[in-house]
Amino acid sequence: MKKDNLQKQDPEIAGFIKEELQRRKDGLEMIPSENHTSLAVLEALGSILTDKYSEGYPGKRYYAGNDIIDKVENLAIERVKQAFLVPHANVQPLSGSPANTAVYLAVCELGEVIMGQNLADGGHLTHGAKGTFSSKFYKSVPYYVEQDGSIDFKKVMKIAKENKPKLIWVGASAYPKLFPFKEMAEIADEVGAYLVADIAHVAGLVIAGAHPNPAPYVHIITTTTHKTLRGPRGAIVMVTQKGLDKDPDLAKKIDKAVFPAGVQAGPHNHQTAAIAVALKEAMTPEFKEYGHQVVKNAKVLAEALTEKGVKIVSGGTENHLMLLDLTAYGKGHGVFLEEALERAGITANKNTVPQDPSSPFYPSGVRLGTPAITTRGMKEKDMKKIAEWIVRALQEVKDYRLLEDKKERVLQIKQFKKDILNNQVLKDIQKEIKEFCRKFPLPY
């Protein structure tokens, strides 16, 4: 099998890949949902398995020639079951949203009530956010977080009793605390709802023992595989023993909802193989150490930022991410800090904060995470240095205020982006970060 043909056959794409590699080498990837995969994962993902059609499941395919593919998928399934302590797993979902869609199709009828954490409060689009399929096809009744970022379970119980949801989600995309599986299970059991844990953000931490496992408390678990798990972009749907006790046919319903009656057709076999590789890596002592270091780094970073006067939602973090509350600098200030950080060599993302006075398009916070920088080998002392850079960047944009008029706002942000390109302080930070990153090579 020939290799290294990309440069010869398509130098433009090869060039873009090299540019992206250099960008990552020179900067700090701190979006909590991003990570760096191993070379082994990338090798499986770029393998000849991408060529094979294999609609169906192991032992029951709609195409011939799948004996080897069956071995790959079965191995991936067994590793999921071993890693998460579940009796059933489907590794075919192409990404997180299709996985969550399959759950709806498996257990809900159109129009039935669902509950999930409000999107602006850190929830996910597929958990019932307004304007998405999950609120158009089902009656979405969200629950919220308090001003301090915590969940008031008495309020959630009240909402659940009043609305009798068929399904409740636990898990979020921007929630800096441990996911409350036990507390939400008490609520779901009280009203007879299915409880689904979306652990896309913390799956790797769960395997590492750095976050509680939802398996004893929920009926279904969904996760992506490319965040703290350090795998390829893909997803998994799992059924727990509690789920099978509630409905002995639940595993069959999930599988059918993925294929053939659900959201997709043929699986991506190269992706399945890469997921299997990532799971094997995740069940090693080295990965366990990594998972705990991710949390240690996040806590130290949050503490260092707090000491420097930056407000952190919930006062800190219990997992891999934190939310910077920038409302003191005016609503929508996350837009300015995100751009300033990127100019300085730190990739983060603007994000809403609890009871945000602005909108999701112009949020008042920034979300930071430590999975990718921990993969590169950074430790607690490095987090303190990173905190200094973040605060220096914040100081450069703290006086900007988002304009009220929408048309003027668009022009303001466009001009702002031009202005910070020439900001000398941000240029200096970028040089310092580039030099700093040389000590922490990427895994590929």
Domain formed by 44-282, architecture? 3-Layer(aba) Sandwich (3.40)
Domain ranges of the chain: 44-282, 293-437
pLDDT of residue 3: 66
CA 172, CA 180: separation in Å to the nearest integer? Answer: 11
**CA torsion, points 66, 68, 69, 70, in degrees to nearest 10?**
90
Please identify which residue in the block is written with the tokens 């700090």: 28
The two tokens of residue 86 are 């579940």
Residues with catalytic roles: 53, 55, 198, 224, 227, 233
**What is the CATH number that goes with domain 293-437?**
3.90.1150.10
The two tokens of residue 45 are 């993902």
Residue among 110, 105, 112, 136 nearest 261 (CA): 105
Strands 321-325 and 365-369: antiparallel
DSSP secondary structure string, 9-56? H-HHHHHHHHHHHHHHHHSEE--TT-----HHHHHHHTSGGGG----E
CA 168, CA 127: separation in Å to the nearest integer? Answer: 9
Going from the first residue of the chain to its last (444 residues), give the mean pLDDT of each consecutive group of 10, the final group possibly shorter.
Answer: 81 97 98 98 97 97 97 98 98 97 97 96 94 95 94 98 98 96 98 98 98 98 98 98 98 97 92 98 98 98 98 97 97 97 98 93 97 98 98 97 93 95 97 98 96
Say if CB 171 and CB 198 are below 8 A apart: yes
**CA distances from residue 278 to 46, 166, 227, 236, 288 in whole angstroms, order as listed:** 14, 33, 11, 13, 13
Say if CB 104 and CB 168 are below 8 A apart: no
CA 43, CA 281: separation in Å to the nearest integer? Answer: 14
Strands 88-90 and 60-61: unpaired
